[in-house]
Amino acid sequence: MSWIVEQSDNTSAVHVNGNTITCTKDGYYDSPINIMYNDPADHNGQYFWELKFIESATEGGSSAVGNLSDGSGLLVQSFGNQIKQGDKVYILLELTDSDMKMYLFHNERSLGLAFHVQSPYPKPLYPVVSFSGNGKVTITRSDQKHGSLERASSQYNSVEGKWKVLDFPQHPECIGCEFKVQRHEHIENMYVLFANVVNMLHCNLEHNPTTNEWKSADVMSTLMAGPSELMKEEQVISNFLSEIQNVHVEDQQILIMRSKNGVEIKLERCTEWAPSPVTENIFT
């Protein structure tokens, strides 16, 4: 098998060695580099590819945020977790006369059905890797399939996961607001905290394991306008996030957060939303 590189100003950054593709360039990429693996899915049946992300730049690179795209625009946000260096992504493609199905797996976790497109759709189809920065990816075809095709729930320990405000005595209007905490991809003892009212708010949350103290950084917002009551609620949440000093979990189901001035919020763990597959015909 071989790689076919899309011709662009960045083509010289691509280096091919068998089934391994490496992109190396100083500075930023003006546009993504798309490289097609010449292993066609050209008739009905199942095709299973394993992609290993061997190297990835801290910013950009071949890492992704787990979104689904048709190559030109976003289709589904946060379909999976961010792909980082050392991870594996598996693609299972099923072709029949009536439809095309594509399932995705991230490491050992099944993400379920990602694309379900009714005929007509083009053949052959090929796996493509898109680089927006330096990285190195290896691809192999395999007959081995993962077990269940059903989407597996995310497994979290400690503060990580999705939470919903259960009790906020000073501001009961904020009950039901959803938070999400995930481990920072590159910095030890650092987490990223998200909250959504009108805008998506997020901040870094650093844990000192020696003192068991927590420290939040500046809160960032998408800065969209909304109804005045919701904007007031969002300001309350934003102020609280900027003052977090203590975080702890009770029985893996209740998250307690306290601010520097003693304000406390109690949150309960909630089930993550499972995204639906893309069903529109992305080839038309």
From 233, 193, 194, 197, select the one nearest 214 (Cα to Cα).
Answer: 193
φ and ψ of 6, to 5 deg: -65, 130
- pTM (predicted TM-score): 0.67
Please give the pLDDT value at position 75: 86
Please give the pLDDT value at position 11: 83
Query: How big, in percent rounded to 5, are the helix, strand and coil portions of the chain?
Result: 5, 45, 50
Cis peptide before 227 (omega within 30 of 0): no
Please give the pLDDT value at position 154: 66
Please give the pLDDT value at position 74: 78
Please give the pLDDT value at position 187: 86
Q: Computed from CA positions of residues 179, 273, 86, 129, in that sequence, does the dihedral angle turn out positive or negative?
A: negative
Domain boundaries of the chain, sorted by first residue: 3-141, 161-269
Please give the pLDDT value at position 155: 62
Place of tokens 């607001």: 177
**Which residues lie below 8 Å from residue 142, measured CB to CB, with a gap of 6+?**
48, 49, 50
CA atoms lying within 13 Å on the CB side of residue 171 = 19
User: Which CATH code, of 3.30.450.70, 3.40.50.720, 3.40.50.2300, 2.40.128.270, is assigned to 161-269?
Assistant: 2.40.128.270
pLDDT per residue rounded down to tens, the chain (284 residues): 689 998 887 788 899 999 999 999 887 777 888 999 999 999 999 999 999 999 875 443 344 557 888 877 778 877 887 788 899 999 999 999 999 999 999 988 899 999 999 999 999 999 999 888 889 999 999 877 667 888 877 666 689 888 999 999 999 999 999 999 988 877 889 999 999 898 889 999 999 999 999 999 889 998 888 899 999 999 999 999 999 999 999 988 999 999 999 999 999 998 766 788 999 999 88
Please give the pLDDT value at position 112: 93
Residues 3-141: name the CATH superfamily: SPRY domain (2.60.120.920)
From 197, 166, 169, 194, select the one nearest 182 (Cα to Cα).
Answer: 194
CB atoms within 10 A of CB 155: 8
Place of tokens 């003006």: 30
DSSP for 231-265, written as a single string: HHHHHHHHHHHTTEEEEEEETTTEEEEEETTS-EE
Please give the pLDDT value at position 173: 95
From 111, 126, 112, 13, select the one nearest 62 (Cα to Cα).
Answer: 13
